[in-house]
Amino acid sequence: MADTPPPAQPKTPQSVTITLSEPIRRGETLITEITLRKPKTGALRGLKVDDLFGTDVNTLIILLPRITTPPLIVAEIEELEAEDLLEVAGAVRGFFMTSSLKEAMARTYGVQDEAA
């Protein structure tokens, strides 16, 4: 009997780059995209993960300076367009999806794992 490897699990990306619909002006520089890094436990200190899933704006305002490149400050986050904030919130939620939830979504939406 041949050993068959288990099906490949969809992988959670370690970072996500988002192109902003409205650039952030920082002095003479325009920030047109930001990269979100998958947060480690230290970046979540003092936050409730449930609030991240619920897209709590105050929680995102605390978390984003810890995980964005370039690092955003609170005033910049508060000036994000609503659609940019929602895209960022979706990316943050995606970092916390369990393997079983990713599998269910892949089956539902017909997404194939790139590593497979």
Quick one: how far is CA 46 from the chain centroid? 18
**15-34 pLDDT, tens per residue?**
999 999 999 999 999 999 99
For residue 62, tell me if it sits in a domain.
yes
For residue 67, tell me if it sits in a domain.
yes
**52-89 pLDDT, tens per residue?**
888 899 999 999 999 999 999 999 999 999 999 999 99
Instruction: Report whether pLDDT(10) > 60.
Output: no
For residue 108, tell me if it sits in a domain.
no
For residue 105, tell me if it sits in a domain.
no
For residue 71, tell me if it sits in a domain.
yes
pTM beyond 0.85: the answer is no
Average pLDDT, the chain: 85
State the DSSP H helix or E strand holding residue 100, giving kind and residue range, or none if neither.
helix 99-109
Among residues 20, 51, 36, 42, which one has the least CA distance to residue 95?
A: 36
Total domains in the fold of the chain = 1
Residue span of the structural domain in which 89 resides: 15-23+33-97
